[in-house]
Amino acid sequence: MKGRFIAFEGCEGAGKSTQMRLLSEYLTARGVPHILTREPGGGHISESIRNIILDGKNREMTDECEALLYAAARVQHLSDTVKPALERGETVLCDRYIFSSFAYQGYGRGLSLGFLKAINAYAIENFMPDVTLFLDIPSSNAFDRKHGADPQDRMEQAGEAFHKRVYEGYRALLRDYSEQIAAIDCSGTKYETSAKIVQCLVSRGFIG
Ligand code: TYD
């Protein structure tokens, strides 16, 4: 049996890791085999790529190089982590996927969506999640939650206007990919948000 592929998206500090952990507890309690993983990262090659991308010292990295590195980390992560788990029948909870590239490198950096779709077509070959959950909280609120940007993290240091464009980008993607992305309102407590996520997945028949 093939497992379900569920991606989480949102701005920095939207609470993705907390919500993934709460969903993991829910699945464990019901005996649903699953893994938690993240982009860029997962296996050791993608984690090495991640360190290059996020390293605050790599200030001269071009936007195109950044986009290609994310796509490279993605294809490796799919091959060594995501696809094997799905084949074992496990559900995969993945922190970020292709819509992060569209939101951050497209709307945030200003690269064309055509370029991003083309390089990611090589990386994923149409391999899309069963559903993408967008944790909807504006970037400014999200940074407040995590008490500001990390000075060592190149992406978090990109500035307020950048992160605002990323959030607006996600809103646009939500309209363009309404069949694939479900917005989760995060204005309540973490437990209320978690209940909304479970309800969304149950209503789509992805979990019991
Ligand atoms: P991470 O520390 O995992 O951030 P978060 O906890 O908010 O998910 O770092 C991932 C960073 O990489 C984050 O700033 C978003 C960015 N990113 C992109 O810009 N493009 C991408 O395709 C992906 C997967 C991530």
pLDDT per residue over 134-170, tens digit each? 999 988 777 777 777 888 899 988 998 999 999 999 9
What is the crossing angle of helices 44-54 and 63-77, to 10°? 160
40 lines ligand 1 (CB under 6 A): yes
Q: Strand runs (DSSP E) across 140-191, as ranges?
A: 181-185
How far is residue 188's CA from residue 175's CA, in Å, rounded to a whole number? 23
How far is residue 139's CA from residue 159's CA, in Å, rounded to a whole number? 11
The amino acid at 185: D
Centre of ligand 1 to C-alpha 74, Å, is 12
pLDDT, one tens digit per residue, over 190-203 is: 999 999 999 999 99
Ligand 1 binding pocket mutation candidate from 16, 104, 132 (most atoms within 8 A of CB): 104
How far is residue 3's CA from residue 90's CA, in Å, rounded to a whole number? 5
Residue 20 contacts by C-beta under 8 Å, 6 or more apart in sequence? 8, 36, 93, 95
Q: What pTM, to 2 d.p., does this model score? A: 0.95
Question: 101, 70 in Cβ contact below 8 A?
Answer: yes
Which pLDDT does position 109 carry in this prediction? 97
pLDDT, one tens digit per residue, over 74-104 is: 999 999 999 999 999 999 999 999 999 999 9
